[in-house]
Amino acid sequence: MPGADKEADLTERIEAFLADLKRGGCGTGPIRGSGETARETTALLRKVTAQARWSSAGDLMEIIRKEGRRMTAAQPSETTVGNMVLRVLKIIREEYARSRGSSEETDQQESLHKLLTSGGLSDENFRQHYVHLKANVIEAINELLTELEGTTDNIAMQALEHIHSNEVIMTVGRSRTVEAFLKDAARKRKFHVIVAECAPFCQGHEMATNLSKASIETTVIADAAIFAVMSRVNKVIIGTQTVLANGGLRAVNGTHTVALAARHHSTPLIVCAPMFKLSPQVVITTVVRNRIILSKVNVHCPVFDYVPPELITLFISNIGGNAPSYIYRLMSELYHPEDHDL
């Protein structure tokens, strides 16, 4: 039966994705960049919406939540998966409200204003069936996918405003977003880049090679030299794995060092992060990889650093530049507060 085949195909796709996620976490960093993970997750969720059996928005949200929980459990450190699930849930809520024809969903957040003026305790249970809901949701997810595909270009387009001629820019490790950002500026400006190698995986080396292929003058330094070199640096531009709800970062280890050195020298710290990296979490659990290099020594090697929001000057995302104190506002536009704990 064609229906059962499609379902089997869907479960197979999901299983393959989960296995990929589980593998991607160990070794020299993720096999795929987070942008790809975000696109794959969204494409999978679109498939689930199209093929799974559901009759009301409430059912669909339950199915998506269930799949979302499985996916986040496979690789808890890859937060983009969870973020995309939350985006899709918000899309479903919005399309449902639009189908009902209600205009009051412009502000779904709890606020003092809502507390005072709302007519009754809202028990929205999303049980109503609407014929066009499926098509609308799939169309909205397609829009989301288009947005995801354009994020790196949107960020790179803003490069010329921030990088000036003969500047010395420092970066840490390897970030595809920062790479595109710097390459775009290099088309019109001449500047110098210093890359901290970011031991023990030394992804900075790959970054330096790629940048020099684009004819950018690049220097690689050891992590220990970050503070010493910082006095010569005009700007620090970094990528990140996740942006937390309070404006802080969860970035590759070594980033906190760079941020503190930059604060000490009053150097601006710019973070290039697309919107799909924004996570509603505030608390983070440290992820640690242990490598036994000698038989009696245990090497503790945290993979990520927490950078507090006070050390960051500017966030550049696909929707423009923002201060860290504004991140909570962007988050409220992307996700619904009831979905924060999947």
Partner 1 sequence: MDKDELVEYFRTQVRQDPEVPSAVAAIRTLLEFLKRDQTGETILGLRENLTQTIRRLEEADSSVAVSSGGELFLRFISLTSLEHPDLSQCKKVMVERGELFLKKISLSRSKVAKLCHTFIKDGAKILTHSSSRVVLKVLESAAADKKRFTVYVTESQPDSAGRQMADKLQNLNIPVTVVLDAAVGYIMEKVDLVIVGAEGVVESGGIINKIGTYQLAVCSKAHNKPFYVVAESFKFVRLYPLNQQDVPERFKYKADTLKAVEDLAEEHPMIDYTPPSLITLLFTDLGVLTPSAVSDELIKLYL
Q: Which residues, 6 or more positions from 37, have their beta carbon under 8 angstroms from its beta carbon?
A: 21, 24, 30, 78, 80, 81
Q: Is 106 in the site for partner 1 (CB under 8 A)?
A: no
Rounded to the nearest 10 degrees, how much is the dihedral formed by the CA atoms of 50, 55, 57, 58?
-120
Q: Quote the CA–CA distance of 260 and 251 in Å, as a whole number.
A: 14
State which residue, 222 or 314, has the beta carbon closest to partner 1: 314
Q: Which residues, 6 or more positions from 313, have their beta carbon under 8 angstroms from its beta carbon?
A: 268, 269, 270
Least Å distance between CB 244 and partner 1?
11
Site for partner 1 in 245-274 (CB under 8 A): 245-247
Site for partner 1 in 109-138 (CB under 8 A): 109-113, 115-121
Least Å distance between CB 48 and partner 1?
29
The DSSP secondary-structure symbol of 246 reads: T
Instruction: Please report how the helices 2-24 and 57-74 are oriented relative to each other, as an axis angle in degrees rounded to 10.
Output: 40
Least Å distance between CB 342 and partner 1?
15
Least Å distance between CB 215 and partner 1?
41
Least Å distance between CB 119 and partner 1?
8
Binding window for partner 1 (CB under 8 A); candidates: 22-30, 81-89, 102-110, 222-230: 102-110
Q: Where does residue 243 rank: exposed (0-12), middle (13-18), buried (19+ CB within 10 A)? A: buried
Least Å distance between CB 328 and partner 1?
5
> What is the per-residue binding string for partner 1 in 311-330, x denoting contact by CB under 8 A?
--------------xx-xx-
Q: Which two tokens stand for residue 278?
A: 């924004």
State which residue, 159 or 262, has the beta carbon closest to partner 1: 262
Helix (H) or strand (E) holding 218: strand 217-221
Q: What is the DSSP string of 278-312?
A: B-S-------EEEEEEETTEEEEEESEEEE-GGG-
> What is the per-residue binding string for partner 1 in 196-235, x denoting contact by CB under 8 A?
----------------------------------------
State which residue, 102 or 111, has the beta carbon closest to partner 1: 111
Least Å distance between CB 63 and partner 1?
26
- Do you know the residue count of the chain? 342
Helix (H) or strand (E) holding 252: strand 249-252
State which residue, 1 or 115, has the beta carbon closest to partner 1: 115
Q: How far is CA 130 from its chain centroid?
A: 32
Binding window for partner 1 (CB under 8 A); candidates: 81-89, 194-202, 205-213, 241-249: 241-249
Q: How many residues bind partner 1 (CB under 8 A)?
A: 24
User: Residues in the site for partner 1, rule: CB under 8 A?
Assistant: 107, 109-113, 115-121, 245-247, 282-283, 309, 325-326, 328-329, 337
